[in-house]
A and B are shown apart, each in its own frame.
Chain A
Amino acid sequence: SQTIHQWPATLVQPVGSPLSLECTVEGTSNPNLYWYRQAAGRGLQLLFYSVGIGQISSEVPQNLSASRPQDRQFILSSKKLLLSDSGFYLCAWSVQGKSYEQYFGPGTRLTVT
């Protein structure tokens, strides 16, 4: 069966510090991968998606970036965090060709102070 991991689970970072969140998927190959942000009590905002290694599409311009160095690894980064980057970050995966059926990881709670 497929499993998706995210770490860290929680993170408190000062404004201006760098960020690296990691997501890995097990039990499948060549998945589509997604990064979402969920503000407190709000809906899901798609940040990035990837259909293959090194292929990243950005949905929302911001100071975040994403990379996919390996087939089942997806990384969300920032060089300098802003207060507005606080939120719950979710990684998700789907089978190629079935992007409408997404499976989410446990999330990372990021607080920028």
Chain B
Amino acid sequence: QQQVKQSPQSLIVQKGGISIINCAYENTAFDYFPWYQQFPGKGPALLIAIRPDVSEKKEGRFTISFNKSAKQFSLHIMDSQPGDSATYFCAASLSGGYQKVTFGTGTKLQVIP
């Protein structure tokens, strides 16, 4: 009920291409869906987040698409760059009081020149 399933586990994309990472959740009560970016040897950094009342949120080259009926959300990285090479984690949480954040297992993205 609390799981967030993330795919693919790893992804290789050519520079300039679109990187797509998918996540699926089970708990329909989740109402906050963040994405984190983690470079090797560093802590994860909050990248972008979405609430289920919108179907899409865009920040620069990063876009979250949200499908409430399918209980799925995805991260799209447009015009992928070598500097985007990192591990990306999706997550889901409730937003009232203290709530545990449920993380996906991560996707290692490599953008090749």
- New A-B pairs, 16, CB < 8 Å, besides A42-B106, A100-B95: A41-B106, A42-B105, A43-B103, A90-B43, A92-B43, A97-B97, A99-B97, A100-B34, A100-B93, A101-B49, A103-B45, A104-B43, A104-B44, A105-B43, A107-B41, A107-B42
Count of chain A to chain B residue pairs whose CB atoms are closer than 8 Å in the complex: 56
Are A99 and B98 in touch, CB under 8 angstroms?
Answer: yes
Which residue in B89, B93, B98, B108 is a CB contact (below 8 Å) of A44? Answer: B89
A41 CA / B95 CA spacing, docked (Å):
28
Can you identify 10 A-B contacts, CB atoms within 8 angstroms? A41-B106, A42-B105, A43-B89, A43-B103, A49-B98, A99-B93, A99-B98, A100-B32, A101-B32, A104-B44
| Contact of A86 with B by CB under 8 A | no
| Contact of B12 with A by CB under 8 A | no
| Contact of A106 with B by CB under 8 A | yes
| A43 and chain B: residue at smallest CB distance | B105
Contact with B along A44-75 (1 / 0, CB 8 A): 10100101000000010000000000000000
Are A102 and B97 in touch, CB under 8 angstroms?
Answer: no
| Contact of B46 with A by CB under 8 A | yes
Are B98 and A32 in touch, CB under 8 angstroms?
Answer: yes
Are A51 and B98 in touch, CB under 8 angstroms?
Answer: yes
Return A67 CB to nearest CB of chain B, in Å.
18
